[in-house]
Amino acid sequence: MLTYKDTAIVFREIPDEVTLAINIAGCPVHCPDCHSKHLWKNDGVVLDLYELDHLIKNNPGVTCVSLMGGDNDVQAVHTLLHFVKTNYDLKTSWWSGRENIPDCEFLSVLDYLKLGPYIKEKGGLDSKETNQKLYKVVAKDTEVSPVVGFNDDGDEAYLSGRYYELEDITNKLWRNEQFS
């Protein structure tokens, strides 16, 4: 079961999208120097399908729904994002502190995926030195037999006749030093 602390309409976390960001509580990653330590404690409002539906309906004009966290219950993340993909014409995103995708089935419910814990010395996603990555998930139909798995680099996956490529778009979030 997931709970969330708050929501916001954001314009920077997912390039070219008006995003409903839902800040999930109960983060198990506990990055040193975390800017969201209030999300470590597992409390807040229960985020089930009814609550998610309510949040989406009360935020018209969004083009993307992003679960910011949820590493404590990845099956619930998958269920919620699957609900969005099957009931709304919206993009989906998951911001995770994990370094890898739990399984390639996740790619079927994602348009964007952020991976990696925050490491202060490397900076956040707006830093060219960051260890974190933001990916655009590109799905393509393929004639490949229904194999499930990742390639050796971990940036491509096959799942039931679909091919998924992770396009690194982290650079779209880097600060432009000219304007900083």
Q: What is the DSSP letter of 82?
A: H
Q: How many CB atoms lie within 10 A of CB 177?
A: 7
3-state secondary structure 104-162: HHHHHHCCEEEECCCCHHHCCCCCCCCCCEEEEEEEEECCCCCCCEECCCCCEEEECCE
Q: How far apart are CA 149 and CA 164, in angstroms?
A: 10
* pLDDT in the model for residue 142: 62
Give CA 171 to chain center in angstroms: 16
The size of the chain, in residues, is: 180
**pLDDT tens figures, 2-45:** 999 999 999 999 999 999 999 999 988 888 888 888 888 889 99
Are the C-beta atoms of 30 and 118 separated by less than 8 Å?
no
Are the C-beta atoms of 19 and 13 separated by less than 8 Å?
yes
Q: What is the pTM of this model?
A: 0.86
Average pLDDT, the chain: 86
**pLDDT tens figures, 144-174:** 544 445 555 555 554 555 677 889 999 999 8
Largest CA distance in the chain: 49
Are the C-beta atoms of 166 and 135 separated by less than 8 Å?
yes
